[in-house]
Amino acid sequence: AQTVTQSQPEMSVQEAETVTLSCTYDTSESNYYLFWYKQPPSRQMILVIRQEAYKQQNATENRFSVNFQKAAKSFSLKISDSQLGDTAMYFCAFMTPRGGYQKVTFGTGTKLQVIP
Amino acid sequence: GAGVSQSPRYKVAKRGQDVALRCDPISGHVSLFWYQQALGQGPEFLTYFQNEAQLDKSGLPSDRFFAERPEGSVSTLKIQRTQQEDSAVYLCASSSSISGQGARDSPLHFGNGTRLTVT
C-alpha cells in the first residue's frame, strides 16, 4: 500500500515571498505519478503540478515548482512570489497507473496562509 | 456543463436517515470517482466507475454505502441509515482516461463536493 505524509499541518508566508511545502511518500512501485492539489474554501480540488517518477527533471508551472528526490521519496512544492490567492489547503498525492485508472492517494494536507 | 457538478452542496441528515448525493461529470468522461474527505483530512477513495461498470468499490466503508452510474454519466452515492461518522465532504471526480491507457494524459477533474452533516 502507498502512503503519503505531509508533516506541516499549517504554514504561513508573506506576500511576494517564497514558501516550500514538504511531502514524503512510501511505495514499492517503480512507475508512478506525484501531484500537488490546491483546495480553496470552495472545496474544489485543483491540480497545481504533476511529476512522472521516470522523469529526472523537476516539473515547473509558472510560480510553482517541485523538488523531486526519488531515492529519498520526497516531493516538495515551492511557491515563488506568493499571492493572496494562493491561500488554500495543499494536498500531496500519489498515483500508480497499475490497473489503468487514477486511484489517487492523498496526504493529510497543509493549510497555507499568505499574509498581506 | 463546463465542469463536474455535485448536488446538493450541503446536506443535513438526522442519524438513521438515508441520503443520496448526485454527481454530474464532465460530458464524455468515462471514468468517475467518489472520495470521502473527513474534516481536517485528505480525500480518501471510495469507488470507481468506468462508464456504467463499477470496477472498484474497495473504499466503501460499509454496506450502508452504495453507488451507481446506470447510464454511464450521472452517478449517485447513497448512504443508508446515516451515522455521525459519515459526516464528511463527499467529492466526485471525472476523467477522460480509460482503463489500460494509463493516467498520464488526463488529470482528475473534481466537483465542489457535498458537505454531509449527520446530527
Chain A contact set for B110 (CB, 8 A): 44-46
* B55: confidence class by pLDDT, cuts 50, 70, 90: very high
Q: What is the mean pLDDT of residues A70-83?
A: 97
CATH label, B5-97+107-118, candidates 3.30.1360.150, 3.30.420.40, 2.60.40.10, 3.90.1300.10:
2.60.40.10
Asked if A57 has any chain B CB less than 8 Å from its own CB, the reply is: no
In eight-state DSSP terms, residue A72 is T
Q: Which residues pair with A38 in a beta bridge?
A: A46, A90
Q: Which residue has the cell 489547503?
A: A89
Residue B105: per-residue pLDDT: 52
CATH number at residue A42: 2.60.40.10
Going along A53-109, which residue ranges are E strands? 60-61, 64-69, 74-79, 88-95, 104-106
Residue B96: per-residue pLDDT: 84
Q: Under an 8 A CB cutoff, do A52 and B104 touch? A: yes
Q: How many CA atoms lie within 13 A of B111 on its CB side?
A: 29
A32-75 pLDDT, tens per residue?
Answer: 899 999 999 888 899 999 998 888 899 999 999 999 999 999 99
Tally of domains within chain A: 1
Q: How far is B83 from chain A (nearest CA, A)?
A: 23
Asked if A52 has any chain B CB less than 8 Å from its own CB, the reply is: yes
Q: How far is A98 from chain B (nearest CA, A)?
A: 8
Rounded Cα gap, residues A76 and A6, in angstroms: 10
Burial track A62-92 (b if 16+ CB lie within 10 A, e otherwise): eebbbebeeeebebbbbbeebeeebbbbbbb
Q: Under an 8 A CB cutoff, do B43 and A103 touch? A: no
In single-letter form, the type of residue at position A23 comes to: C
Chain A contact set for B103 (CB, 8 A): 33, 95, 97, 100-102
Domain span holding position A26: 3-115
